[in-house]
Amino acid sequence: MPQEIDKQRVTVTREGRLTILSRQLFNSRREALTAYPRTLEGLAFAGAQGEPRTRHDGKWIMDLRYEGLIEEPTEKDDSYQLTGEEREKPIEEFPDRELLKKEFGAYVEGGRLLFPEKLPKSNEIGSILGLDNYKDGAGEVDNPLFNTRSYAQEYQVAVWRLVRRRVPALIEGWVGTVQTRLPSGFAGMGAKADAKWFVRPLRTTKRGNAVEIEVQLKEISKFQAMEAIQKLLKKSQKGRGEGGGLISTGL
């Protein structure tokens, strides 16, 4: 049987996943490959590496790694991240078309929103960018929106990382739904209070007896078409539409 020959080394992640490293001495290479302990203090074997102790006695020293959970973490152990992303939207979906017409001469042709190549040097058109500096002159200036077909729409993405023995059924049920609030751990982080959030497919990794779970929630308040489609898909697949607020779950 193997013998532990050095102090154990322990690491703990922010979310509560444990790793124990144990150096053990085996009587032979075969024993090192087949007789290592499958668990250590409740953690599952996660890998090993080693080498002969000497060239002559046949014994092997192995560094064994065990990963997992001893106690189930709670939401206070989880990590929360809020970031900003952007996506291109057709210029036709700009929320204030009248402002585009007033400031940059936008017009509709064949169902498309277009812009003239030049703007007159007036005291109204182009005032947002200070183009009216030429109001006392004559002629035209280049239109910065000429040939523009899209614009960037910013939105927030919330990422909740947690470690549990298994994926909670409640979280599995959130996937594909539209939620009206974020988990309570995001309080005070600057998330938009009136936003709606689409729950993306989960990212999960199994390590020993623990599952690392990443829940991504994408703000879709400004993407009404995406929200409508997702609600329709969810209703078709599971008979569910918009979800409620994600409050403290006690997971």
Long-range contacts of 126-134 (CB under 8 A, 24+ apart): 127/103, 128/103
In 3D space, the residue among 193, 188, 104 whose CA is nearest the CA of residue 146 turns out to be: 104
User: How sure is the predictor about 241, in pLDDT bands with cuts at 50, 70 and 90?
Assistant: very low
User: How sure is the predictor about 248, in pLDDT bands with cuts at 50, 70 and 90?
Assistant: very low
Both tokens assigned to 121 = 């040097």
Domain residue ranges of the chain, discontinuous segments joined by +? 3-68, 75-88+152-238, 90-150
Cα 103 off chain centre by: 37
Over residues 63-91, the mean pLDDT reads 89
Model pLDDT for residues 195-217, shown as the tens digit of each residue:
999 999 999 999 888 999 999 99
Which range is most confident: 18-27, 76-85, 205-214? Answer: 18-27
In 3D space, the residue among 43, 42, 45, 48 whose CA is nearest the CA of residue 24 turns out to be: 48
**Rounded-to-integer distance, Cα 102 and Cα 125, Å:** 6
Would you state the pLDDT for residue 246?
Answer: 46
Over residues 178-190, the mean pLDDT reads 91
- Residue pair 115/146 in contact (Cβ under 8 Å)? The answer is yes
Would you state the pLDDT for residue 27?
Answer: 95
Model pLDDT for residues 127-164, shown as the tens digit of each residue:
655 555 554 556 778 888 889 888 877 889 999 999 99
User: Which residue's entry shows tokens 């993407």?
Assistant: 223
Both tokens assigned to 68 = 């997992």
